[in-house]
Structures are given as structure tokens and as C-alpha cells.
Structure 1
């Protein structure tokens, strides 16, 4: 398992009689973004806590940055950075003081700590606010400072647990750019998120966690192909042309008489579109508008995490302990 940035085999975790993780496997290559999706209480934060050594698994094996978590957790901690769901920024001190505190925790010499802190504050566009109390920062600024603090130790593997929750769209896009830059610099990012667009935009590989197991895993495009519903929509402005097309394609198409549109099943691939267009030419059908509709990650998510009665169950993830989060840094 040492050739992977993160390698997990048969990971299990329970809280009392509640099974949270029921034997999950993950293999994440270095220098990539991995996104873990799942409904609230699915166990995403539990996975992050185990892989960041905050809690121990009940069973299975896990390696992070080549270090076995059971045999050498301290070596794993030295190679990782963690940004949890809730900010670990101390609002009573300045942004610079937060950074220098992290440098002290990493046992950096004072001069090097100041150099690293100044460089990260500049990188995250926080230099002008460096001497202001962190409590005065906006949500986006606090999140940037939170990640900057995580990077003080130059981690090879970075865990971001819902890093953009509560941010406005502009701040969210800024955070996306930061994540891309981290990977460009060689880091591996393990991301949990509630925003499917975020996973689609950032992740090389996506896994969907449901009822303690990995329901599906692959690239965004691979996951979209496992959900039916892709189609090509033909729209007409001439009712007579529409009726002719509907009669010609009556067994292959679904009608939308109000919109004068026909839907033809399609996976959206170039080969299938070319074949469909050739077929339409052969049959003499000339639509005024043709659009391709493919399933998105929302469709994948809903298909893989079918509704269950969650109102009577407790969330699978244990409560977040801010002091444990701080210790992980």
C-alpha cells in the first residue's frame, strides 16, 4: 500500500451498536484531489478523524503518506495537515500571531517561523490584515487563515473537511483556486464536501459513502455514466414538423407536446451523437434546436443514497471536538 498517498483496506468503526464504517477501501494517488461525498451522518468526518489519527479504527488497515497509522501514528501526523469543519483560528489574537503559534507547535526556529508565516500570509492575501485580531476577519478570510495555518508544517497530505461550508460564492471560488494550487505544488488533498458542484469542479476521484460502505467510486464523468437519464432533446417551432418527427420516432422518443420537443435516450458520447445525427439526416428530420442532457452529480448522489428514515436515527459521526482538531495540527 506504500505507493499511494492514502491507502485504506477494510476500515471499520462503530459507536456503541451503531456501525459507521463497514469495511471501506480507498486508494488515493499522490498529487491528486479526492472527494468523499455522502449524506449527513454518513461517516465522512469519521473517516477524516481516523486518517488524521484523531481517533482509532476498530478494524482494517490504513496508511497515510507511507506510514501505517497503527504502527507509527506520529510519523503520519508529521506528514499531514487538517482543516476541520469548524475554524481552529483563535479570534483573540492576530492572524500573524495565529501563524507564529503554529510555527512554534511545529518547533520551527523563530526566524524560520516568521519567514514561513509571512510567506503564507502573503500567499493567502492576508498580509494587510496580519496585525488585526482574527475575530475581525470575514468568513472567507478566517477560512484562508485556517488553511494557511495547516500549511505551516509543509504537509504532504491535507485533509479538508467541508472547507467551504458557509462561504459566499466568491470566497468559495477563491478556496477552489487555493486547493488547485496546493495540488500543483505536489500535495494530496482529501476533501469532504456537501457541494456536489465543488467535487465536480475539483476532484480527480470521487467516492460516495452510504450506510458505512463506498457505494461508488470514480471520476465525475465515470460516476455520471452509471445513472440512467441521459438524452438528446430535439425542439421544433413548426407543429407539422414536430408531428412528423414524433410519428417517425414514435418508438424511440419521448414526446413533450407542450414544448414541441422529443427526447431520445443517449449517453452523450461523441460516437453516439454522431450516429444519432446521421440517423436523423437519413430519416429527413430537421430539428430547430438540439441539446444534450447528461446526468449530473446530483443525479448520481440521489441514485446512490436512496432515501431512508433518518429522522429516527442519530448522526453517524461523533461530535466534533475542537481541542482534538487543534491537536491534529
Structure 2
């Protein structure tokens, strides 16, 4: 049985479809990635699946429980690390976890044992009695992950778990997520970091403007756009794109700043043909690159644009929830 099943899920805010009829499933023990820019619908989907937002229409089942008719059962069976920090910085790491355990009805013996286990997992055992306000950003994130695991959930939701962290700290968080994956915990992760999705996820769903554009393993998604990718730079990218199109090299070459991108099945033979066509038209090609597709290329292929700069959407979601009485 799948850990998460989503069927035609929709969420509208004043007529605007933040999530627009999406369908996907997450298998038990899978690390499933939701990749998309700010405003794509990632956090809105997470908020619905964790019962913090009611869907406008459609259905979803988490650990076998309907998110609308069985919200309490859903909440008992999941852990979540929100995009914005929610640990109490005035308390110690131990006290934050202890309060969480009490809220989930864990008895004292079980609670203390589990606190030791999760702090050891995220390498914060030596910091258990320190106030969280003395922690670095990465340490606070690790504590949030530990708290999400306190009640041994069947599914862990990670909403932008490395947002705002420096590259080195981000890599450390990845290692903790990998540990969880090896333990067989089902994880649904949202991110706008392409390398994060590529490195961590068993499967990835690309979402943009509330719609899922593609789902597959990173390898499948990259193979799916076919062949090689050619990137040619010019001071006249629009003219170069027109030349490439009219020569029949690509139906829809994409322009990003001064670069023109397009996919080619036989890239090695295509490069000299592009250079000759540009030269014949009097357009200078400053550089040309041939490479295998990346996850960023996949995103551009399905959305027509590169991934937009992400900002924290948690506060925006809170405003929406208050405005709609959730």
C-alpha cells in the first residue's frame, strides 16, 4: 500500500488555484521530492496533506487515512519539519522534545528514551541541556528534524529543510536525511534546490503554477528529455534562436540571458552545424557547450523557464490560513 495517495487535489484562494488538480503517490519507504519555485504549490500541498489546510476539492490519503474525514489519525501518524523555524529558543533542546512528546501522549519512560535516541541521531546529544537560542541555524534545523521524529511517525514531511542554510550545513542536513532514509522512514521533501532533489530523492515531481509537470526518478527525468543539451552564447541570442529554429535544429530553442539552449539527439554532429548556420547569417557565437542534461535542464524543458528564486513562504501561508479561517 502507498504511504500517500493524492487524487485530483485542488486548493483555491479567492478563485486562484494554488494547487490545481494534482495526482501522485508516495510509496512506503520512499524519499519523494516535490521540486518547484516559490509559488508553485509545494507548501500548500504539504499543508493540505498534514491537515493544516482543507482542500477545495479532490481526495488525499496519508497512511491510509482520509485527510478530510480522519484528520486526527493523519496527525498522529506523521511528523513535520516546517519551512520556518518553530522550536522555542527560550527552552533547552531536551525541553522542546519533552513538550512534543507530552503533546503526543508519550509516557515518561518512553519519552526520555526517545529523546536520547533522536538527539543521538542528529548528533545533538551533547547539547541536550543547552538553550536553543545558543544554537546555530543548522543545529536548530537538526533539532526540528529530531522533534518531527519523536513520536516515531510513519511519514516525515520536510518542507524546504535546508532553506537559508549555507552549502556546508546543507550537506550535513542531507547526511541526516540519508540516515532516516536508510531506516526505512517514508519522507516527502519539498525543495527548490535542484542538486538537493537530484542527490536525495528516489523520485521527483516537478510542480509549477499548481500543476505537476512530470514525475520520475532523477535519472528517468533526465533521460526523458532525450539526447544531449547544446548551449550557445551570443550577443544576439534572439537572432541565434531564430537561426536554430529556421534551420530545423530545434522546434523551440530557449533563451536565458545571452544563452540559447536546445536539445539534440546527435549533439556531436549538431555543434558544427549550428556554428556554420550562425556564421552564414552573420551572427557571432561566443561559446558553445555540449553536455548531458541536468535536473535544471529537465525543469526548463517542462516549465519553459529556469527555477525562480525562492523566499520563505511560511509567513504567506499563515496569512492565507488566517484569512480563510484555517
Partners of 1:304 and 1:316 in 2: CA distance: 23
1:198 to 191, 196, 199: 196
> 1:38, 1:305 within 8 Å by CA — same for their partners in 2?
no
Partners of 1:205 and 1:225 in 2: CA distance: 14
Q: How does 1:144-183 map to 2 (within 5 A)?
A: 144-183=142-181
TM-score (norm 1): 0.75
TM-score (norm 2): 0.75
Q: Secondary structure of 2:40's partner? A: coil
Partners of 2:3 and 2:76 in 1: CA distance: 14
Aligned length: 267
CA shift, 1:293, in A, is: 2.3
Contiguous gaps of at least 5 residues in structure 1:
233-251, 253-263, 269-290, 325-329
Partners of 1:189 and 1:73 in 2: CA distance: 19
Q: Secondary structure of 2:86's partner? A: coil
Q: Secondary structure of 1:321's partner? A: helix
Specify whether residues 227 and 317 from structure 1 end up closer, same or farther in structure 2 by C-alpha distance, changes over 3 A only: farther
> 1:20, 1:317 within 8 Å by CA — same for their partners in 2?
no
Partners of 2:190 and 2:131 in 1: CA distance: 29
Matching residue of 1:214: 212
CA shift, 1:157, in A, is: 0.6
Structural RMSD (CA) = 2.9
Contiguous gaps of at least 5 residues in structure 2:
231-248, 250-262, 268-288, 322-326
Partners of 1:231 and 1:320 in 2: CA distance: 37
Partners of 1:155 and 1:125 in 2: CA distance: 20
Partners of 2:301 and 2:107 in 1: CA distance: 52
Q: Secondary structure of 2:153's partner? A: coil
1:320 to 311, 317, 322: 317
Partners of 2:314 and 2:136 in 1: CA distance: 28
Partners of 2:171 and 2:266 in 1: CA distance: 30
Partners of 1:219 and 1:133 in 2: CA distance: 41
Q: Secondary structure of 2:317's partner? A: coil
Q: Secondary structure of 2:33's partner? A: strand
The structure having more radius of gyration, on CA atoms, is 1
> 1:39, 1:305 within 8 Å by CA — same for their partners in 2?
no
> 1:231, 1:267 within 8 Å by CA — same for their partners in 2?
no
